[in-house]
Structure 1
């Protein structure tokens, strides 16, 4: 790939990102999303977070690892239980990281 092709790809990706991210802002209130779509979009952040976190908990080096020797899986399960009891996200993050560190270091 030559230099001008690389710069052309970078420019086109920049334009595509700008259009995708500013589409609703540029159109303003002229576009009304159906209520069902608005309701579905409420769950998008949780789905995106799950799509990032769950594979990290279940995979080790790209290979599924659901054994009892997976410290990430144990920390994730215990942090989930902690959140269900306490309902505090910041405490859950600290708790999950403390459990993960404790298990990983084998204390």
Structure 2
């Protein structure tokens, strides 16, 4: 088949349908099965780290890279490290945010 035929109406709708199934079946299975199906304990323990891993995957590239390259003197990296240290030391949900933002704000003056 040529490239034009693969992008024709029927093949395109088939691709859309398969992608929709691949997206919605795993999500819907938890809703349909409800509490009748329990995940293994090891999977439940591993999933506890999923939110932190997702946040780290979004934040880390912006903190570590400047123009696509690592810069150890990056202002965002300094603010992130300071916020992490404050969060680790004081266990306050708002203080790391305030410290990190203050460092970025003062660094841009």
Contact 2:82–2:96 (CA under 8 A) maintained in structure 1: no
Runs in 1 of length 4+ with deviation above 4 angstroms? Answer: 1-12
> Comparing 4-13 with 14-23, which one deviates more in the overlay?
4-13
Partner-residue secondary structure (3-state), 2:94: helix
Check if 1:25 corresponds to 2:31.
yes
> Comparing 38-47 with 11-20, which one deviates more in the overlay?
11-20
TM-score (normalised: structure 1): 0.76
Gaps of 5+ in 2: none
Quickly say closer, same or farther: Cα 1:6–1:101, change in 2 above 3 A: farther
Quickly say closer, same or farther: Cα 1:17–1:84, change in 2 above 3 A: same
Shift of 1:7: 6.4
Aligned residues: 103
- Structure ID, larger Rg: 2
Partner of 1:76: 80
Check if 1:88 corresponds to 2:92.
yes
Distance 1:51 1:15 in 2: 26
Distance 1:17 1:90 in 2: 36
Gaps of 5+ in 1: none
Quickly say closer, same or farther: Cα 1:9–1:63, change in 2 above 3 A: farther
Partner of 2:45: 39
